[in-house]
């Protein structure tokens, strides 16, 4: 399989042919940067880890060149940084026993362009080869521009699939901006409680990002614990780690459903919930 960027990298940890690795994929994550997969889709990684009947594949759209750098990475050039991040993502795939990880290596400006045929053709080729039943995307209310653009490019590609080949469930997950603000009926609970050591080691793989002064390793564990604890005030915690997701399946089923309208309806339900509770006690 050929991808449009010269720097694209495909890695299959168990050395099976790429076509076979994609064909066995049941859980697929399309993410903007190296480490986003491990932050947003640990649920899928854990569901497939150590299994022969379920396989997780991750796709990273950008080349990782624009990341902040400090410590031993402070003087790395963009090219050196790309190589470090590519290697980190491969290590995470090996540790997580992914079916495959594909790093498409597009500059983020290309991902942000709605007219980028290269991104669309790469994603279309992957989606045609991956019969995943569940797909993890960035969510449309994320506050990182590249994440939102990545979500839009992914949605366009999913909508380009014949209806019968579209995944059964498509989820928008938390990275930059959590989804605790969704009203409870709009929340999809991804239980990340399994194998906490694996979850920690996966995030810990991305030392170049943590060395940049961001303790993602502690922050992600903290967010998952907070999500689990603050989910319901009266029940004991069923899960010890939770990632929230937005159900994006309606956007994939109905290509005429406008993304803005769909997202605004979630915001409107939050506003109605807040206002109704205030009015109840006045």
Tell me which stretch binds Zn ion (CB under 5 A): 32-40, 180-188, 250-258, 262-270. 32-40
Tell me which stretch binds Zn ion (CB under 5 A): 28-36, 184-192, 237-245, 251-259. 28-36
Tell me which stretch binds Zn ion (CB under 5 A): 27-35, 101-109, 228-236, 274-282. 27-35
149 or 190, CB closer to Zn ion?
A: 149
Residue 173 CB, shortest distance to Zn ion, in Å, is 11
Tell me which stretch binds Zn ion (CB under 5 A): 16-24, 33-41, 56-64, 154-162. 33-41
Show the site string, 209-238: x = touches Zn ion by CB under 5 A, - = not. ------------------------------
One residue of 5, 21, 28, 33 binding Zn ion per CB under 5 A: 33
Tell me which stretch binds Zn ion (CB under 5 A): 34-42, 80-88, 116-124, 157-165. 34-42
99 or 108, CB closer to Zn ion?
A: 108
28 or 32, CB closer to Zn ion?
A: 32
Can you read off the two tokens belonging to residue 86? 């590519």
One residue of 5, 24, 36, 252 binding Zn ion per CB under 5 A: 36
61 or 239, CB closer to Zn ion?
A: 61
CA separation for the pair 179, 33 (Å, rounded): 19
Write the DSSP assignment of the chain as a string of letters. ---SSTT-EEE-TT---HHHHHHT-SEEEEESSTTHHHHH-HHHHHHHTT-SS--EEEEEEE--TT----GGGTT--HHHHHHHHHHHHHHHHHHTT-SEEEEEEE-HHHHH-TT-HHHHHHHHHHHHH---SEEEEE-TT-S-HHHHHHHHHHHHHHHTS-GGGS-SEEEEE-BSB-STTS-GGGEEEEE--S-HHHHHHHHHT-HHHHTTT--HHHHHHHHHHHHHHTS-SSSPPS-S-EEEEEE-HHHHH-TTS-HHHHHHHHHHHHHHHHHHHHHHT-
One residue of 22, 32, 45, 105 binding Zn ion per CB under 5 A: 32
| Contact between 63 and Zn ion per CB under 5 A | no
33 or 85, CB closer to Zn ion?
A: 33
User: Which residues of this protein are in contact with Zn ion, per CB under 5 A?
Assistant: 32-33, 36
């Amino acid at each position: 399989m050929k991808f449009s960027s010269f720097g694209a990298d495909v890695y299959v940890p168990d050395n099976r042919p790429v076509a076979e690795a994609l064909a066995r994929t049941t859980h697929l994550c399309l993410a903007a940067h190296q480490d986003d997969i491990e932050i947003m889709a640990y649920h899928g990684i854990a569901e497939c880890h150590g299994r022969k009947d379920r396989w997780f594949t991750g796709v990273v759209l950008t080349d990782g060149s624009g990341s902040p750098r400090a410590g031993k990475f402070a003087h790395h050039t963009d090219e050196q940084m790309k190589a470090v991040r590519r290697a980190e993502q491969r290590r995470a795939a090996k540790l997580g026993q992914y079916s495959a990880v594909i790093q498409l290596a597009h500059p983020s400006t290309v991902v942000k362009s709605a007219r980028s045929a290269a991104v669309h053709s790469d994603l279309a080729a992957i989606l045609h080869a991956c019969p995943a039943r569940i797909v993890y995307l960035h969510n449309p209310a994320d506050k990182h521009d590249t994440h939102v653009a990545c979500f839009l490019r992914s949605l366009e590609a999913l909508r380009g699939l014949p209806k019968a080949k579209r995944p059964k469930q498509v989820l928008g997950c938390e990275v930059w901006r959590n989804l605790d603000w969704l009203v409870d009926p709009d929340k999809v609970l991804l239980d990340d409680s399994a194998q906490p050591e694996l979850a920690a080691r996966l995030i810990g793989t991305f030392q170049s990002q943590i060395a940049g002064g961001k303790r993602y390793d502690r922050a992600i564990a903290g967010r998952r614990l907070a999500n689990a604890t603050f989910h319901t005030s009266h029940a004991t915690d069923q899960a010890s780690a939770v990632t929230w997701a937005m159900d994006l399946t309606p956007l994939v089923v109905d290509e005429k459903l406008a993304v803005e309208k769909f997202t605004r309806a979630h915001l409107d339900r939050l506003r109605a919930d807040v206002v109704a509770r205030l009015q109840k006690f006045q």
